[in-house]
Amino acid sequence: MSCPADSQRICLTSSQLTTALMEDNQLDGGLPSSLFECKQLQYLFLGYNKLTGRVPKEIRNLTSLTHLYLDFNNFQGRLPPEIGNLGMLKEIFLRNNSFEGRVPMEIGNLTMLTSLDLFDNHFEGSIPKTLGNLRLLQWLNLEVNKLTTEVSLFSDLSNCKYLRTVILSGNLLNSILPNSIGNLSSSLEQISLSECNIKGNIPISVGNLSNLIHLALEENELVGPLPSTIGRLRVLQSTSWKYEGSDTAGFINKSTIRWHPRDNRWPKKSSRLSLANNRLEGAIPESFGELVSLVVLELSNNSLSGEIPKSLEALSYLKYLNVSFNRLRGEVPMGGPFVNFSVASFMSNDALCGATRLQLPPCDTQAQKTTSKHMLKFILPTIGLTILALVLVLVLTRCNKSNARSTLVDAELSPLAQWRRISHQELIQATNGFSLNNLLGEGSFGSVYKGTLSDGMNIATKVLNLQVDGAFKSFDAECEHPSQFYWNLSSSLEQISLSECNIKGNIPISVGNLSNLIHLALEENELVGSLPSTIGRLRVLQRLALPDNRLDGPIPSELCHAKSLYELDLRGNKITGHIPTCINNLTLLRNLYLGNNQLSSTVPLNLWSLTDLLKIDLSSNSLTGSLSVKVGNMKVLTQLDLSTNQLSGGILGTIGGLKNLVGLSLANNRLEGAIPESFGELVSLVVLELSNNSLSGEIPKSLEALSYLKYLNVSFNRLRGEVPMGGPFVNFSVASFMSNDALCGATKLQLPPCDTQAQKTTSKHMLKFILPTIGLTILALVLVLVLTRCNKSNARSTLVDAELSPQAQWRRISHQELIQATNGFSLNNLLGEGSFGSVYKGTLSDGMNIATKYGSQGIVSTRGDMYSFGILLIETFTRKRPTDDMFIGEMSLKHWVNASLPHSVIDIIDPNLLRNERDDDAMKECISSLMGLAMGCCAESPEQRTNIVNVSAVLNKIKLKLLKDIGQN
């Protein structure tokens, strides 16, 4: 392993080493022999490097090892059977390497194992039956290998009572689905068996998997009917859980799977039930109408018959339906989600009828009695369409010799191309049965598909709809004037999908002419240059996906004119500048992905007015500023990723109101203050990533209530106090809590035990510190009252005495200096305002911080002193000043406190005031009352501010109640 010599001998000098965290360090070479002398090693993290060679049998020496991560390297050879000696292993991640040979049956000896991930290697042979011995197994991913299996595999796995995820896609299983699949763990959430050469029927026992969320069986050789028992899967949301590059390469993993900092994207989850490209037959079950969470239903390229159930009209979340290339007949439903589907959903069926916009004949009840005529009416035109498509390809091939050929055809066909006969069967194979994945676009007269012939030749073929008047004329015009054809076609295009096509160059400004474009996907190409402003002309565009290119320059403000946008995905480019402030015009936007760019400036406040957003990814940019209080308005938000930026200030307690939030990442920023107690109300949270900030205080015990939380990382902060041990915390490891100031807790977390003696002195601490503070506050109030009445010119506040030495001289500050210090009395420097004026913070040329009041009416009032007293009260108990760096933009000290009341006051309190849980409730109530009083003094309207005469009595009541509560404890 290419690293300093000292690190190669680390175990020779540190026999007690328990954790080796060396991920993502560009390490290369093989594993050093000294590594296997670390007998106490528990955590070995070497993922995301360039390591090569084999894993030696000496790995058996690491008998204390619990976590083995060698993923995303270049390891080769067989996995040694000696790995079965590591009886303490809980997690094995070897994904994305080049391991080969059989999966060692000795893995079945690892009875503590919860996660086994061998995705994307070259393992072959039969999947070991011994996996059934892994009673604690939760996550099993063997995707994309060359593995086979026996029918008994699912019977063996039924012993794994905690199993939640099984992913075997992309193997050579060549098996059937046995009835025993219904005996798998009742906690099973995901089954992925796509492209596995599975034969036979779908067993009705699949309906027993009551907690199944994802089911992927597409592209197999399944036959027989669709079992109606699938309708029992009420929580079924999707199949084919699509991530970056695979089914699982995201950051939310379904058991103890970690999120690597390098995987800074949210998963691309495609919510769909896909049984496409099989040989299924019979009717679509009426019970499918009970799959209430379904978003995408993909049943194309089977032999399904009968009618489309009207029960599907009840699927209110259904956004995509494809039943093309089946044998369906009867009327297409028109209610519910069907109002949004197009002709592409129903192509090439026996005898469907319905709305003319679907290019279907009207339903004729009399015609239903004459089946033979009905078949002649629809089968013969279908054959004609196919023949016409073949003729079109031949004619376009000939037209290639003309000077008017298009650039696309030039790139694909040689000028010397000869006439070639292409059969109907070849076209079906080249386009995957005219699959929707091959659809380039749709127009008034037909649809255009891309395809690849068996010799590697790329083609585009058009299927005309002869039931539309003018189809023949359109065909003739296209042959006579090819260049004109492409222009006319483009003006009617609704969808362009050219992902992973190695496309180079700029996006042409002429893209703005595609006035009917709904979907534009050009991801994972080599596009350069800036986004053309003409995209703003695409007023019906719903999805713009341009991730993983080399685009640069700013996001054009004209994009805000594309008001139909549902998803905007620009991740993985080099886009600079700021996020347009007009983004709030995109009121239909639901998914916003701008991560992995070079964006700067602050997050515009207008973004948080899009309260219907579901997913936001702004990670890995250079965004600055603080979190807006308006984040709390995003009530339907499920994913928020602001990691790896330069955000500062505190984490707002209002985020706790986002009940639907599944993933939250604020890692790698400059955030400070406490983790809000209100985070315990994020009941849907699965991933919480807060590492690499400057967070302080304790980890809230309220997080123990997050029953779905699978991943937590608060490492590299300044946290202190006891780590909670209830709820999800029982599953977290040392990796979640590394490098903090003074955390204490369980020995398994490699933390020192908590000092109970210190907790016993908390009451004395409170009496020594809190009560004098309240007393001083009362004294200050009395002093203010006396000074206000006396109002003598030579009187000086004790508070001012504390700031100025007896020898201090008055300093004259000119109006010009005040303008410069406050940036022209900028709103960014505003601390607060009332009826008589506004208070601004500023910095003089010599670095001195000041606060200055700008009078609006020339009226001097004691109510202005009450405002100042309220701010003083807040400063005393929060240890924050209005001029602290965290208070920028709309976030002021006053707003910060106000957002925490009344239930999240612990988020703002000085952590030093809390030392013992026994008195926490009393302290919280005391501070909450004090902050409520402070807010009353800081009311915007002077008339509404608490009268100075009443404040002293209120403070006395708060003090007496605190003494009483502590005495009772």
Q: Report the alpha-carbon distance of residue 59 to residue 730 in Å, rounded.
A: 28
Instruction: Map residue 494 onto helix, strand or coil.
Output: coil
Residues of the chain with CATH 3.30.200.20: 425-462, 815-855
- What mean pLDDT comes out for the span 222-250? 60
> Around Cβ 468, how many Cβ atoms within 10 Å?
15
Integer Cα distance of 461 and 600 in angstroms:
44
Q: What is the mean pLDDT of the chain?
A: 79
Handedness of CA 469, 472, 475, 479 (dihedral sign): negative
Q: What is the pLDDT of residue 852?
A: 79
Name 10's bridge partners: none
Report, in angstroms and rounded to the nearest whole number, the Rg of the chain calculated over CA atoms: 34
Q: Which fold has domain 425-462?
A: Phosphorylase Kinase; domain 1 (3.30.200)
DSSP state of 580: -
Question: Looking at the chain, which residues constitute the CATH 3.80.10.10 domain(s)?
Answer: 7-175, 220-359, 549-749
Query: What pLDDT does residue 367 have?
Result: 47
CATH 1.10.510.10 maps onto the chain at 865-966
- Predicted pLDDT of residue 864: 62
Residue 557 pLDDT exceeds 50 = yes
* Strand bridging mode 543-545 / 567-569: parallel
Q: What are phi and psi of 111, to 5 degrees?
A: -70, -10
What percentage of the chain reaches a pLDDT higher than 90?
40
SS3 801: helix
CATH class of 549-749: alpha beta
What's the CA gap between 354 and 254, in Å, rounded?
A: 43
* Least confident window among 22-26, 305-309, 320-324, 469-473: 469-473
Superfamily name and number for 220-359? Ribonuclease Inhibitor (3.80.10.10)
Q: Which amino acid is at 309?
A: P
pLDDT at 246 over 80: no
Give residue 25's pLDDT.
86
Residue 645 confidence class, pLDDT cut points 50, 70, 90:
very high
Distance between CA atoms of residues 922 and 762, nearest Å: 12
Who contacts 924 (Cβ-Cβ below 8 Å, separation ≥6)? Answer: 905, 906, 909
pLDDT of 201 > 50? The answer is yes
Helix, strand or coil, per DSSP, at residue 827 = helix
pLDDT tens across 565-594, in order? 999 999 999 999 999 999 999 999 999 999
**Residue 885 CB-density burial (10 A; 0-12 exposed, 13-18 middle, 19+ buried):** exposed
* Arch. (CATH architecture) of 865-966: Orthogonal Bundle (1.10)
High-pLDDT (> 70) share of the chain, %: 75
Distance, CA of 715 to CA of 730 (rounded, Å): 17
Q: Measure the CA–CA gap between 887 and 629, rounded to whole angstroms.
A: 12
Rounded Cα distance between 196 and 19, Å, is 38
Give the right CATH number for 7-175 from 3.30.230.10, 2.40.160.20, 3.80.10.10, 3.40.190.150: 3.80.10.10
Q: Name the least confident of 45-49, 127-131, 265-269.
A: 265-269
The answer to whether 239 touches 212, Cβ cutoff 8 Å, is no
What is the torsional sign of CA 116, 270, 283, 343? negative
pLDDT band for 143, please (50, 70, 90 cuts).
Answer: very high
> Is the pLDDT reported for residue 414 higher than 50?
no
Amino acid at 527: L
Strand order in the sheet with 837-843: 830-834, 837-843, 849-855
> Tens of pLDDT along 326-363?
999 999 999 999 999 988 899 999 799 999 889 899 99
Confidence of residue 419 (pLDDT cuts 50, 70, 90): very low
The amino acid that residue 713 corresponds to is N
**Record: fold of 815-855:** Phosphorylase Kinase; domain 1 (3.30.200)
pLDDT at 559 over 90: yes
Q: Are strands 91-93 and 67-69 parallel, antiparallel or unpaired?
A: parallel
Mean pLDDT in residue range 243-252:
33
Q: Which two tokens stand for residue 358?
A: 């679907």
Per-residue pLDDT, 850: 81
Residue 154 exposed, middle or buried by CB count within 10 Å (0-12, 13-18, 19+): buried
β-partners of residue 67 are: 43, 91
Tokens of 620: 């890995």
Could you tell me whether strands 139-141 and 526-529 are parallel, antiparallel, or unpaired per DSSP bridges? unpaired
Dihedral pair phi/psi, residue 320, rounded to 5°: -140, 135
Q: Is the pLDDT of residue 440 over 70?
A: yes
pLDDT of residue 472: 53
Helices 863-878 and 948-968 meet at what angle, rounded to 10? Answer: 20
pLDDT, tens digit (0-9, with 9 covering 90-100), for 461-503: 877 665 555 555 555 555 444 333 333 445 567 888 888 888 8
Query: Tokens 């991913």 correspond to what residue?
Result: 141
* Residue 871 host element (H or E): helix 863-878
**Max intra-chain CA distance, the chain:** 110
* Angle value at C-alpha 716, between 715 and 718, nearest 5 degrees: 105
Cα atoms found within 13 Å of the Cα of residue 667, Cβ hemisphere only: 23
378-387, 823-832, 885-894 — most confident range: 823-832
> Contacts from 326-334 at CB under 8 Å and sequence distance 24+?
326/299, 326/300, 326/301, 326/302, 327/303, 328/284, 328/304, 328/352, 329/305, 330/306, 330/363, 331/307, 331/363, 332/308, 332/358, 332/360, 333/308, 333/309
Q: How would DSSP label each residue in 736-776? A: GT-S-SEEE--GGGT-PPP-HHHHHTHHHHHHHHHHHHHHH
- Quick one: tokens of 897? 């406190």
Asked if 147 and 167 touch (Cβ cutoff 8 Å), the reply is no
pLDDT tens string 768-789:
555 566 666 666 555 555 555 5
pLDDT band of residue 947 (cuts 50, 70, 90) is confident
Handedness of CA 718, 722, 723, 727 (dihedral sign): negative
Residue 498 burial by CB count (10 A; 0-12/13-18/19+): exposed, middle or buried?
middle
CA distance 658 to 680: 11
Name residue 519's beta-bridge partners.
Answer: 495, 543
